[in-house]
Every structure is written in C-alpha cells, then in structure tokens.
Amino acid sequence: MTDKKKILIIQPIHKAGLQLLENNSNFDFEVIENIEIENLKLKIKNCDGISIRTKKIPSEVIQLAQKLKIISRHGVGYDNIDLKLCKEKNITIAITANANAAAVSEHVMFMLLSIAKGKNMYDNTVKSNNFKDRSNLPKALEIWNKNILIAGFGRIGQALIKRCLGFEMNVFVYDPFISSNKIQSLGGTKIENLKKEVSNMDVISLHMPLNENSKNLINYDLLKSMKKNCIIINASRGGIVNEKDLNKALDENLIFGAGLDVFEKEPPDSDNQLLNNDKVFLSPHTASFTEECMKRMGIETAENIIDFFDGNLKDSKIIDIK
C-alpha cells in the first residue's frame, strides 16, 4: 500500500480492535464520539474507510465521501445504511458475521426463561421477607417439550436452535430461503405457512432482517391466532413486531408475554405503552453487549477493514447489494 489509508471509527469500538489498526503501518485512524451530522459531514470527506455501529448514517453524509471504499459495520444488521447509494458509489459494506450469534442467542434464552419463570418474582419474594408466601405465587412455566418457532434461520437462528434442543424444546423454523433438508439436519422442522402454524407455537423468536416483507410481521391479526401461553421474543430489529398491536394483545391476554431487545424507535418514546406493561421484558438493544462479544466485534470490525485493503476480505462478510 502506498498511501496510508484514513479510517474513521464512528463511535468507539473495543480497544483490541483499535490495537489492530494501531499496529498496522498502512492505516491512520481517528475515533469520533460526536456523531452530529455536521461533524460527520466534515470528517467523512477524506476517509478511505469507516466503521459504524447502530446509529443511522444519513445519505447526505455518505454523499460527501470522496474516497470512501468500505463501511465496516460493528454488528450484522445494515438497515442504518443507504444501500443503493453505496452501490452507486461502489462502497463495500462488511459485517462482523462471526461475532454475534452466541451472545444474541444466549440473550434470547435469558429473556425466554425470565418471562417463563416470572422475571424477578422469586428473588423479590425472598428479599422482601415473604418466603412463606411461596405456595401462593403465580406458577412459572416450563420450556421443556414446548414448541418454539424460530423465524429467520441464519447465523443467530442456527445458534439458537442448539440452545433450544439442549432444553429439549420442539423446534420449528420459518425461513423461506433455507431448505427443509438443512433445517432437518440441524434438528428442526420447516414450516411454510406462518399464519397457519402460529397457533401451535408456545414461543416465537424472530431472527430476520427488517425489510418490506418483515415489517409489522407480528401484527394484531397474527397475535389473535396465537396460543394464550405464547411468548414472543424480538432480538432482531424493531418494526418487525408492531408495538401498538403487541401492547393491545398483552392487555387483552391474547398471549402470555414478550421480550423485546429492539424497538420501532430507539430509544423508545417515554409514552410508549410497552414501557409500563408488566408482561414485557425489555432490554436496550444490548443482546450482543457481552464482554466477550464486544471484543469479538471490535476485532472483526477492524480486521474487515484491514482485509479489504489487503484484498483478503471474505465474501461471507460482504453484503451483496441487489
């Protein structure tokens, strides 16, 4: 490489990732925490590569990039980037394909078990000196032998199935793009028609991208046909579950509970009714925020930039923009 490549790290990544860039004489990098549009517009002009987290990068910012060749996403979702514009400008988008699945699928199990076991019910009972009331508490649910539907069977869905099988759940998969053979080989059963099969499920966990096909997939119509003990988990993207419909369904006892890591608007507005609904378990888009995963993501984000300029970036890390 002749000139040093200028890399802008938009919002900090793990120091192990920064170290890789620091140790490589082909790169100069700057970490910026000020993500106001005007600052991004100023900084992006002369960059060869950027890394971004979940913050939306406005098209008007990308438009100003004169040399930008790669956007390295710290994560796997890329709905915060204008794909069409990147294609026009011949900008590669890379993701941390290997980093997230274990952390996110563990978070799903954490949410599922928390909801099934009454969140902090037992802990609160003992700590508030009410041990003697143990027989009067609402009964927890088991997940053993229950039907779970994994909707979206990519990296995270396939990590989740292993955990569900470990708990001896019956796993069904809805993913029009994955063959029945593949699903069967991993211990699941493919379903073709979500509407038809949803009434047999005790748990539904969503692991697909947000796009025009998946937006509002979980709506009042579908919620009406679910089992009364059904638990829905969304650790994919906000907007796949219609939040107003979910809140209504929970209030009407159409389903048992829901776990949401992601929201239509992040952070959610303070008047979002789900914030006051005891039947939901919420986390602030932190399914991948484990110590270990943050380190893996930081390293992979930096490696993808380095590999790109070395000509070694694997196709499996690159988003194929149609």
Ligand X SMILES: NC(=O)c1ccc[n+]([C@@H]2O[C@H](COP(=O)([O-])OP(=O)(O)OC[C@H]3O[C@@H](n4cnc5c(N)ncnc54)[C@H](O)[C@@H]3O)[C@@H](O)[C@H]2O)c1
**Residue numbers annotated as active site:** 237, 266, 285
- The label of the residue with tokens 């979702």 reads 77
Residue 157 engages ligand X in binding (rule: CB under 6 A): yes
Shortest distance in whole angstroms from residue 61 CB to ligand X: 21
- Residue with Cβ nearer ligand X (56 or 127): 56
| Tokens, residue 130 | 């009410």
Helices (H), strands (E): how many in the chain?
12, 12
Residues 73-102 that bind ligand X (CB under 6 A): 75-77, 100
- Residue with Cβ nearer ligand X (108 or 250): 108
Report the residue number whose CB is nearest to ligand X.
154
Residue 154 engages ligand X in binding (rule: CB under 6 A): yes
Residue 104 engages ligand X in binding (rule: CB under 6 A): yes
| Tokens, residue 63 | 């438009």
The count of chain residues that interact with ligand X, using the rule CB under 6 A, is 30
Shortest distance in whole angstroms from residue 31 CB to ligand X: 21
- Residue with Cβ nearer ligand X (29 or 263): 263
Give DSSP secondary structure letters for 100-135: SHHHHHHHHHHHHHHHHTTTTHHHHHHHTT-GGGGG
- Residue with Cβ nearer ligand X (237 or 317): 237
Binding residue for ligand X, selected from 20, 21, 146, 152, defined by CB under 6 A: 152
Judged by DSSP in three states, 174 sits in: strand
Residues 205-264 that bind ligand X (CB under 6 A): 207-209, 213-214, 235-237, 261-262
- Supply φ then ψ for residue 203, to 5 degrees: -140, 140
Judged by DSSP in three states, 297 sits in: helix
Which regions of the chain does DSSP assign to beta strands (E)? 5-10, 27-32, 49-52, 70-73, 92-94, 147-151, 170-174, 189-190, 203-206, 231-234, 257-260, 280-282
Shortest distance in whole angstroms from residue 142 CB to ligand X: 26
